[in-house]
Amino acid sequence: AHMVVTLRDGTEKQIEAENGISVMENLREGGVDEMLALCGGCLSCATCHVFVGESFLPLLPEMTEDESDLLDSADSRQPNSRLSCQIEMSEALDGLSITIAPE
Ligand code: FES
């Protein structure tokens, strides 16, 4: 699968994505290093915040209360905000559009 990533400077980048690991891990492996993801995916930092393309929102795993609480600590939360470590990449998400949220 692949993802289409919009970086903080507005640049668009296509990256190959591996199924079965998180979107956060795929961003890292795809060379997107501007997203800190400080806690490494254990749902305690909110620095893996991304905006997800509207058309993909219904395909995503349901947001847990913990994820939502943590997103509340991010200044730039939008209706399409998610924590990228909480989304597992799959074939169904091929072409996933992701925008890295501001710091
Ligand atoms: Fe810390 Fe996602 S990497 S919450």
CATH of the domain at 34: 3.10.20.30
Strand pairing of 81-83 and 49-52? antiparallel
pTM score of the predicted model = 0.96
- CA separation for the pair 101, 103 (Å, rounded): 6
Of 44, 102, 41, nearest to 69 (Cα)?
44
Residues 34-87 have pLDDT tens digits of 999 999 999 999 999 999 999 999 999 999 999 999 999 998 999 999 999 999
Residue with tokens 């990256």: 15
Atom 4, ligand 1: residue with shortest CA distance: 43
* Number of compact structural domains in the chain: 1
* Ligand 1 atom with least separation from CA of 85: 2
- CA separation for the pair 20, 24 (Å, rounded): 12
The ipTM, to two decimals, is 0.99
